[in-house]
């Protein structure tokens, strides 16, 4: 089973992708996390991606698509995966469809999480991420129990360099121009599930799981 999570930066893709992957026992593949990992490891891919990420632009399609397809062919993705942050434009979506079709597979569902622009800005400004386990906090809305430390693993929380005001603005522009059109692309394929992304994390997870249930993707 392959599920795609679509949504603007700050919509909660990562948080929900983690929850769903766990529930359905699927791999969680997050393009942004893979780039950040490459960056930390100082690989060529990381150096290439950095320039784009810092500006809030998309990393070129070819590099990105190849990275994701490689990751999808790892053993833990055999039963399927939840894709978070990919595809992010029409070219990537088509490349993914084509690659899966070549293996007689296809995307099962696309979950589009919608959140108002005002709420997105608030979330991104206050966002802090655990360096070790990638759990996301918000210093205003969902602060950690101990300041600066991850509740789950004690790791150090940091602000992503692309969560600065200027880059956030650019990332939202890129989302509305390039990624949002994918909602129509998948709607036309009859695979889209739309979920309201405001409310508590658990509420959104419940909505998402309920929507997948209706689509009979989860055995009752
Ligand atoms: P967010 O969804 O909060 O913007 P991500 O962690 O998913 O954050 O992505 C961070 C950055 O990584 C993006 O702004 C972009 O530069 C790069 N990136 C992630 N996914 C893709 C993709 N599918 N195509 C191109 N660039 C990507
Ligand atoms: Zn942690």
pTM (predicted TM-score) = 0.89
| pLDDT 10s digits, 126-179 | 999 999 999 999 998 889 999 999 999 999 999 988 898 889 999 999 999 999
Query: What's the whole-number mean pLDDT along residues 90-105?
Result: 95
**Residue tagged active-site, from 88, 109, 123, 207:** 88
* pLDDT for res 216: 57
| pLDDT 10s digits, 61-80 | 999 999 999 999 999 998 89
Give the whole-number percent of the chain exceeding pLDDT 70.
Answer: 97
CB of 64 closer than 6 angstroms to any ligand 1 atom? yes
Which of the four CATH numbers 2.40.30.10, 3.40.50.300, 3.90.1300.10, 3.30.450.40 does domain 2-214 have?
Answer: 3.40.50.300
Locate all alpha helices (DSSP H) within the chain, ordered by sequence: 13-24, 31-41, 44-55, 61-72, 90-101, 117-125, 165-174, 181-188, 201-214
Cα–Cα distance for residue pair 113/5, rounded to 1 Å: 7
The CB-side HSE value for 174 (13 A sphere, CA atoms) comes to 17
> Over 50: is that where the pLDDT of 219 sits?
no
- Structure token pair of residue 83: 């894709």
Which residues does 90 contact at the CB level (< 8 Å), separation at least 6?
178, 181, 182, 185
> Over 50: is that where the pLDDT of 13 sits?
yes
- Structure token pair of residue 68: 């994701």
> Over 90: is that where the pLDDT of 33 sits?
yes
Query: What's the whole-number mean pLDDT along residues 195-220?
Result: 82
Ligand nearest to the CA of 135: 2
**Residue tagged active-site, from 160, 187, 191, 206:** 160
Atom of ligand 1 nearest to the CA of 92: 23
* pLDDT for res 215: 64
Question: Is residue 122 within 8 Å of 140, Cβ to Cβ?
Answer: yes
Q: Is 13 a catalytic residue?
A: yes
CB of 185 closer than 6 angstroms to any ligand 1 atom? no
Residue 205: name the closest of 81, 80, 20 by CA. 20
Atom of ligand 1 nearest to the CA of 57: 16
From residue 172, give the alpha-carbon distance in Å to each of 85, 143, 147: 13, 24, 28
Query: What's the whole-number mean pLDDT along residues 180-184?
Result: 96
CB of 65 closer than 6 angstroms to any ligand 1 atom? no
* pLDDT for res 217: 53
Question: Is residue 31 within 8 Å of 86, Cβ to Cβ?
Answer: yes
Spans of all domains in the chain: 2-214
Q: Is 171 a catalytic residue?
A: yes
Average pLDDT over the chain, rounded to an integer: 93
Question: Is residue 67 within 8 Å of 157, Cβ to Cβ?
Answer: no
Residue 72: name the closest of 42, 100, 104, 110 by CA. 100
CB of 83 closer than 6 angstroms to any ligand 1 atom? no
């Amino acid at each position: 089973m392959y599920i795609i999570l679509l949504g603007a930066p700050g919509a909660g893709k990562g948080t929900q992708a983690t929850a769903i992957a766990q529930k359905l026992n699927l791999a969680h593949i997050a393009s942004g996390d893979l780039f950040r990992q490459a960056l930390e490891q100082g690989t060529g891919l990381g150096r290439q991606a950095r320039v784009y990420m810092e500006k809030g632009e998309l990393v070129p399609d070819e590099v990105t698509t190849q990275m994701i397809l490689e990751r999808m062919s790892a053993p833990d993705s055999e039963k399927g995966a939840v894709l978070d942050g990919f595809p992010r434009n029409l070219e990537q979506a088509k490349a993914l469809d084509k690659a899966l079709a070549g293996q007689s597979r296809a995307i099962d569902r696309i979950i589009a999480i919608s959140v108002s622009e005002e709420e997105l800005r608030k979330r991104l400004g206050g966002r802090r991420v655990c360096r070790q386990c990638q759990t996301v906090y918000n210093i205003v809305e969902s602060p950690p129990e101990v300041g600066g430390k991850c509740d789950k693993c004690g790791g150090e929380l940091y602000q992503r360099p692309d969560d600065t005001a200027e880059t956030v603005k650019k990332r939202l522009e890129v989302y509305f121009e390039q990624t949002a059109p994918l909602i129509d692309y998948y709607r036309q394929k009859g695979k889209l599930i739309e979920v309201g992304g405001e409310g508590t994390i658990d509420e959104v997870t419940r909505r998402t799981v309920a929507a997948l249930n209706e689509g009979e993707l989860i055995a009752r």
